[in-house]
Amino acid sequence: MSGSLAVSAELLTAFLLVLARVSGVVALAPLPGGSLFPVPAKIALSLVLAALLTPLAGVSGVPSGPWTLGLWVAREAGFGVGVGVALQFLAEMLGLAAQMLGFQAGYSYVNTIDPTSQVDATILNVLLTLLGGLLLFSLNLHLELVRALALSLERIPLGEFRPQLGTAERLVRLGAAVFEMAVRLAFPVIALLLMLDLVLALLSYVNARMQLLTLSFPVKMLVTMMSLSAVLAVAPRLYGRLARQALGAIFELAGR
């Protein structure tokens, strides 16, 4: 009876630690419409993943006390948060590009002047964020994520995760790559809109009677959509390049 109780305690400890490792990933994963998911659905997903991955993990023993158990849970949660941050960078690349374009194209006009609006995301931000979520599944990044979690359970024993300085530096470089690729994606459209502003300003200077203010917003929106349709053709390639960097950081975090 005592042997069966010891095994049950080890299994329960392993499940709790794997759940802590998985929960950080599920909480921060950039799923399409993930912010609208109900909390019970995220909890259920974390429990299912933890139950499936627990057989791959092993615990050398049961923690000697609650403080030791809390330290192990904090370490596993730190691993999950690190993986989730690397995934969030993928979504932020397209979201940052949309923020750069939204104000220049006039899509942020309502959010800027309406004090009663509680929405801080423009239509371009929502569109590109949903595109990033679809690319996450089309490039099979969700499967790579599960593989990285399984590998981490084999390489890093539960309760023994310790972040390395090189991994933290790689995450910082990944953040810099997010800004670089967002600028590369948005800059052609911004440059075109700047030229359009210069043309409209020149026409207004030549003939002050021309009411170009009422035409500037629809013209800029139309030009943005036309140019953005061409620029977005390279968005999957940039997203895939950043995804490879993010997966490299995740697998390095997993101990490969």
Residues of the chain with pLDDT under 70: 1-8, 32-36, 58-64, 103, 106-122, 163, 208-214, 256
Res 1: pLDDT: 43
pLDDT of residue 180: 83
E strand or H helix that includes residue 248 = helix 235-253
Task: Tell me what pLDDT residue 58 has.
Answer: 64
pLDDT on residue 6: 46
* Domain spans of the chain, in order of start: 2-253
Q: Are 131 and 30 in contact (CB under 8 A)?
A: no
Q: Which positions ≥6 away from 82 have C-beta within 8 Å?
A: 24, 163, 167, 171, 253
* CA 108 – CA 111 distance, rounded (Å): 5
Burial of 69 (0-12, 13-18, 19+ CB in 10 A): middle
Query: Quick one: pLDDT at residue 109?
Result: 57
Give the pLDDT confidence of 117-163 residue by residue, as tens digits: 445 556 777 777 778 878 888 888 888 888 888 888 888 777 777 76
pLDDT at res. 34: 64
pLDDT digits (tens, 9 = 90+) for 24-34: 888 887 776 66
